[in-house]
Structure 1
Amino acid sequence: MTEFTPDQIEDFKEAFGLFDRVGDNQVAYNQVADIMRALGQNPTNKAVVKILGNPSADDMANKRLNFDAFLPMLKEVDAQPKGTYDDYVEGLRVFDKEGNGTVMGAELRIVLSTLGEKMNEAEIDALMTGQEDEAGSVHYEAFVKHVMSV
Structure 2
Amino acid sequence: DVAKILGNPSADDLANKRLAFDAFLPMLQQVDVIPKGTLDDYVEGLRVFDKEGNGTVMGAELRIVLGTLGEKMTEPEIDALMSGQEDENGS
TM over 0.5: yes
Query: After the TM superposition, which residues 1-150 of structure 1 pair with which residues of structure 2 at under 5 Å, given as runs?
Result: 55-56=14-15, 59=17, 63-66=18-21, 68-137=22-91
Q: For the residues of structure 1 that align with 2:33 and 2:80, how far apart are their CA atoms?
A: 29
Q: For the residues of structure 2 that align with 1:116 and 1:69, how far apart are their CA atoms?
A: 26
Q: TM-score, normalised by structure 2?
A: 0.73
Residue 64 of structure 1 deviates from its aligned partner by 4.9
Query: How high is the sequence identity, in percent, across the aligned residues?
Result: 77
Q: For the residues of structure 2 that align with 1:79 and 1:120, how far apart are their CA atoms?
A: 27
Q: For the residues of structure 2 that align with 1:110 and 1:131, how far apart are their CA atoms?
A: 15
Aligned length: 82
Residue 74 of structure 1 deviates from its aligned partner by 2.3
**Which of the pair has more CA radius of gyration?**
2
Q: For the residues of structure 1 that align with 2:28 and 2:71, how far apart are their CA atoms?
A: 20
Residue 116 of structure 1 aligns to a residue in which SS?
coil
Which string of whole-angstrom CA distances, capped at 9 and with x for unpartnered residues, describes residues 104-148 of structure 1?
0000001111111111211111111111112111xxxxxxxxxxx
Residue 103 of structure 1 deviates from its aligned partner by 0.4
Q: TM-score, normalised by structure 1?
A: 0.47
Q: What letter corresponds to residue 134 of structure 1 in structure 2?
A: E
Q: What letter corresponds to residue 42 of structure 2 in structure 1?
A: Y
Question: What is the root-mean-square deviation in Å for CA atoms of aligned residues?
Answer: 2.3
Q: What letter corresponds to residue 20 of structure 2 in structure 1?
A: L
Structure 2 residue runs of 5 or longer lacking an equivalent are none
